[in-house]
Every structure is written in C-alpha cells, then in structure tokens.
Structure 1
C-alpha cells in the first residue's frame, strides 16, 4: 500500500483492542450473578442459555469471518460488531428483566462477540499490507494490551458492582463497545486505513481444494485440547483455592491478578523470540509446560504455593494466548478473516467441552482430580500438535 495514513493507527488499534478487553473483563465474572442471583433464572436455564449463546456465537463468527474475506472494507464488520455488542449490553442494563437478559445474551450479543476476532483480523491484514515484517509481532503486542484490560478492569468492575449495582458493569461493557465503534468510525474517514479483501485463491498451498493440510489440522486439534485444559483450570482453580486450600475470595482475586499481570511481559518475550522459533515449537513447548504447571499446582499445599507457581503459568499462558492467534490466522491460506474466526470457534468448543468434563469429574467435589485431568489434556494437546508437525519444527520461523 503506497497511500500514507494521517491517523495514529497503531495507537487507535491498541485502544480498540483494550476496549475489546474491557467488554469481556467487565461482565464475564457477573453473568451468573445477574442471571441466577438477581433475575432468578434456575441453574439449568442459565446453563442452557449460555450453551445456546455459545453455539450461536460460533455460527455467527464463522459467517462473519467468511464474509470478511469478501467485503471491500473490513472496517465495516468491526463497526457492526461494536454496535451489536453495545446494543446487547445496553439491553441488559436498561431492561433488567429475564426476557431482556435472555434476548441480549442469546440473540444480540453473539454478533458483538465477533468484535474480538475481527479486531485482530483487521490488525493482521493492515500490517500485512503496511509492514509485513512486523505483522506477527504486532498481533502479540496488541494481545498484551487485551491482557492489560484484564488486569485493570475486574477490580474496577467489582467496585462498581459493590457500590452501585451489578447491572452497571454491563453499562461499562456497552460503553467500551461504543468506544471501539467510534474508533473504527473515525478510521473510516481516512481512505488509507481501508483494507480490501485480497482475491481468494482457488487452491491452498497444498494444491488441494477445500482441505486443510494435515499439520494444520493437527495443530488446530492440539490447540483445542490445550484450550480445554485452560478452561478446566479456570473453573477448578478458584474452587480449589477456597475449598481445598482454605483460601478466601480475595485470594482468588489475587491469583487471577498475578496470572494476568505476568502474561504481559511474557507475551512480549514470546513475540521477540518468534524471530528464532517457529510458532509450532512455541505452542507445543508451552502446551507441555502448561501441563507441568497444572500438575504442580494440583499438589499445592497452600495458597502461597499457588501464587509462586504463577511464574510458570505466566510463561506458558502468555504463549498460548498470543502466539496461537497468528498461528490460526494462517490456518486457511489467503483467508485471514475466516481463519481468525477459528479463535472464537476453538474457544467456544473448548468452553463447552470443559463444562462437560467439569460436570462429570467435579460431582464429588474433588477439584484436585479435575486439575490432574486438566494437566493430562494440556500434555495430550501438545503431543497431538507435535505428532503432526515434526517437519515444521525443523523449518525456519515464518517471520
């Protein structure tokens, strides 16, 4: 692209990704509280609502990803997703009823959920066009900005919910969606930020129509299994801290804060090391390292042990939350939008599978067993990816 931009695009994209992080970090801990405790939904109805929302979200993100590779302007989809997200969160805030909550979460919000992946799809194609040598690193760097939101926003949202109303966190999310929409609306006034979809090649690099290469399939399956492990840890670790280790809800907040804070420098580290290591090697190695961490934390004897082990978790989680983005964006050659939507599909599938495993293994309240199972998932995921990518490990990094 020879046309120069008159806007600070990197700063604007960073602000957009941060706002995307706010939309999740402000509301995710409070969905069940609003649905069950405040609005009176039963546990079964809330679980069914979340499952429906997840499935609708998967379909929507795949459709949007498919469409984004054919639209003349990718900015439009991010703007539309921002408007949908603001509408859904705003409906919860202003409606404050079971019907408003159900409609917002299952019908409207799944369209807003796609803002995260399409944000990163735009980042990737923008830097592919402007500075291809920096594209992978910028994905990692901007993913750290998303993590910053998770460090800052949950305490703020908790303060707002405690001082005012739990519904107010949904207003905070709606405002973050609107801010992202304003950023992309402003960018649409600058023709230099318009990124059109490239012509779609009839065949991928393997020369086979309609099929992903075996290494990519193995990689995606491995990442899915590793994500199941991460979901299980997210469900089991807070409960283990409170029940088995005698910790408090405050300890859970400290644990989450340490984990999120450590991800930030390590994400930048992995972005830098990506110059010498392939993405496959980074993901495989850190999938196995995650398994080691989970096994160690399952044997923790105190809350302090959990805190100290976050140093290992930070290294592994930073790679698995950032490097996997650029890996999946290259899964379908020439289809960045559709490939990026795989992040949402993998995340949703891992959440559903993790919830099923959690339901089976936690029936007796044995969260230690659940953590051991999670460690097994992480190791198996790394080995699955390794089995299909032995040749890729001997190649030079894509960057």
Structure 2
C-alpha cells in the first residue's frame, strides 16, 4: 500500500507543470500589456488608465465568485478546466481583436474568469496535498517557487516572440499555455471527492479552529499593505536608480533579476522550515525584513549597496508571497477556495493602491516611494501582530470580568 504522504507528494509533478503553464501565460503578456494598448490598440491615456483599473477589479470579482462556488460543490477540477478554457478564449481573441471597447469587454469577462485559475490551482493543491498526507506548506511553497521560475523564463520568451511575430504571437503563446493547463487538469489531476466543508476536516487538520470573518478581513488587509510595496517599488526602482543613485535602467534589471534568483531557494527553504517553525513566526519575520529593506533603500548611498540588500527583499517576498498563502489557508481549512482567493486578491488591490502612491513619489522624489513602502510594511506587520489567526484580535479581546 502506498503511504499517504507519497501519494500526496506525487501530485507535485502534474501540479508543478500546471503552475508553470499558469505562470508563463501571465509572464508573456503582463510586461507588454500597456505597450500593446498604447501602440497596437492606440488607446488614449484615459482609456489606458480605465483599462488598467477594470482589468484587476474584474479579476478580483470573478475570482471571489469562483472561490465561493468552489467550496460548495466537488467541482474544483472542473473549475480548473473552465477557467483554463476562459483563458484560451480571452487570449485567443485578444491576439486578433484591436478594438478598444471589445478588448475591454473581453478583459472584464473571459480574461477576468481566467484570473481565477491561479487561486483555484492553489486551493486544489492545498486540498489534494492535505488529503494525501503531504506537507501542505512545503508543497505550496514548492509550487509557488515553480510559478516564480516561470516569470524568469516568460518575459525573455515574450520579447523573442514580439520581435518575431508581433503582439499576436505573445497572446497566441498565452492561449497555448491555457490549453496545456486544461489538458493537465483533465488528464493528470485526480478529482477531489468533496469540499472539506462537507467532507469534514482532514486528519492533520482535526481540531484546527476556523477564523472569524473579521479576522480574515484584517489579515487580508495586512497582506494588502505588505504587497502594495512590491508593485510600488518595482515601478519606482528604475527611476530612483537613474535620478538619485547615478545608475541606469540596466542596473535596475540586474537588481530585479538578482532578487528573483534569491527568492527561489528562499521559498524552498522557508517551506522546509515551516514544518519545524510556526508559519506565523516566519511570515512575521519576513514582514520585518520588508520594513528593514525598504528603510535601507530609502537611505542607500549606491546601486551596489542596494543590490547587496536584495537578500532582505527576497526574504520578504518569499515569506509574504510564498508562506502567506499557507498562513491564510490554515485560518479557514474547510474553505480553501474562498480563503486562497482572498489572499491572492490582496495583490491586485495592493497594486491599485500603488498607483497614487507612485504619483506622490514622482511629485516629491523617488526616495519617498521606499519610505512609504517601509511604512506600509510596518503597518502590515502591526496588523498581523494585533490579529490572532485563531479568530480573536488582541486589540479587541474582551477584558476579563470582575470576580
């Protein structure tokens, strides 16, 4: 008889292929979306702004609705297929449509629905690995690492495709990745018999308390505060290096590449540590690294000093973006679809908040972007510290009654 942990571990190979396909589908499109709209579609600045707001907002709505549905019926694998097909339709049509309003409608429907594929894949992985007896935290960290690796390969591939076949080629490539994702879900992934909420807790989740709605929302708000700086400072970094540190765009690319390279082993290492140290401790330590990194970046004297601090930045991203998923999944183990979507949605919401903050840094100086980022990380850390993941906030815990 095959041990349960081995059965759960075997799922990592097809899941790894799925996550790589999901990652490449986004990595070949996202870096060039604004350029595509500006040049091929000839969208005005106002139209571009509207598009870049509608896209993440519609994605958040679609992912939330799919996440709630996925926890009510045993259809998670079917949802993986459906969202993959939606991605195929969205990217396939975008490859040829050049009318702005048609593209906006397509983005708010099919492409938004495809955005639910990533959180649903994470929810499926959590449920399958847990039922198979494997370490969910280690498995999720491994899969998140594969997703990060796909973003190392995706943008260079997109640049090659763009030179060879124009924008149509990158959208066709993204559509092909959604086909791969659908085939993996149909042929290689096992059906999950029933949601945890109806089948009862898995053996290693017995006795695990579920967090209250307010606790979940506070925690999601904390992760929004922590992930907003990731977008804000990626936007500001090239300009900061050019205007304040005497470097150029090449230096920014090298620093971002170094950070991405460091994230991969750190995510795997944190996944291993999660079996020995509480995930909450690791996430809090990672948030502290974020506070320290952005504070140092505010006063850094040179590009190379900033490059040396990327170990702090990578530890911050690995803990928050990697273990943060398992942290929230542990808070509501019987509804992995809902809670995973709540965590994933914190990133696009944070990205939308980064827009006006970036505008402030353009007005007052790019160092302020990193100062704001450090303050946001500190605020997120404090909210996590003040919120008991078992469901009670220390800030609002009732006072003991008088004897």
Smaller-chain TM-score bracket: 0.7 to 0.9
Q: Does the 8 Å contact 1:222/1:385 carry over to 2?
A: yes
Take 1:377 and 1:287, find their aligned partners in 2: how far apart are those partners? Answer: 10
Take 1:298 and 1:245, find their aligned partners in 2: how far apart are those partners? Answer: 11
The CA deviation string for residues 91-113 of structure 1, in whole angstroms up to 9 with x for no partner, is: 11122332443233222211001
Q: Which runs of 5+ in 1 are unaligned?
A: 393-399
Take 2:338 and 2:369, find their aligned partners in 1: how far apart are those partners? Answer: 34
Take 2:196 and 2:208, find their aligned partners in 1: how far apart are those partners? Answer: 19
Does 2:171 align with 1:170?
yes
Note the C-alpha offset of 1:85.
1.0
Note the C-alpha offset of 1:307.
2.2
The CA deviation string for residues 170-215 of structure 1, in whole angstroms up to 9 with x for no partner, is: 2221111111011112136xxx54342234499x98999x94364x
Take 1:391 and 1:180, find their aligned partners in 2: how far apart are those partners? Answer: 35
Take 2:389 and 2:115, find their aligned partners in 1: how far apart are those partners? Answer: 35
Q: Scaled by the length of structure 1, what TM-score is found?
A: 0.88
Mean CA deviation greater in 300-309 or 192-201: 192-201
Q: Does the 8 Å contact 1:114/1:344 carry over to 2?
A: no
Which residue among 58, 76, 79 is the counterpart of 2:78? 76
The CA deviation string for residues 69-103 of structure 1, in whole angstroms up to 9 with x for no partner, is: 12223100011111111211111112233244323
Q: Does the 8 Å contact 1:218/1:389 carry over to 2?
A: no
Take 2:389 and 2:116, find their aligned partners in 1: how far apart are those partners? Answer: 33
2:334 counterpart SS class: coil
Q: Quickly say closer, same or farther: Cα 1:390–1:72, change in 2 above 3 A.
A: closer
Does 2:40 align with 1:56?
no
Q: Quickly say closer, same or farther: Cα 1:195–1:236, change in 2 above 3 A.
A: farther
In the TM superposition, 1:102-251 aligns within 5 A as 102-131=104-133, 133-187=134-188, 192-200=190-198, 211-212=212-213, 214=215, 216-251=216-251
1:362 counterpart SS class: helix
Take 1:13 and 1:235, find their aligned partners in 2: how far apart are those partners? Answer: 31
Take 1:16 and 1:270, find their aligned partners in 2: how far apart are those partners? Answer: 22
Aligned residues: 385
Take 1:275 and 1:379, find their aligned partners in 2: how far apart are those partners? Answer: 26
Take 1:2 and 1:72, find their aligned partners in 2: how far apart are those partners? Answer: 24
Take 1:84 and 1:281, find their aligned partners in 2: how far apart are those partners? Answer: 38
What corresponds to 2:396 in structure 1?
none
Q: Scaled by the length of structure 2, what TM-score is found?
A: 0.87
Q: Does the 8 Å contact 1:91/1:100 carry over to 2?
A: no
Take 1:339 and 1:326, find their aligned partners in 2: how far apart are those partners? Answer: 10
Q: Quickly say closer, same or farther: Cα 1:376–1:15, change in 2 above 3 A.
A: same
What corresponds to 2:203 in structure 1?
none
Q: Quickly say closer, same or farther: Cα 1:159–1:221, change in 2 above 3 A.
A: same
Give the CA RMSD over aligned residues.
2.9
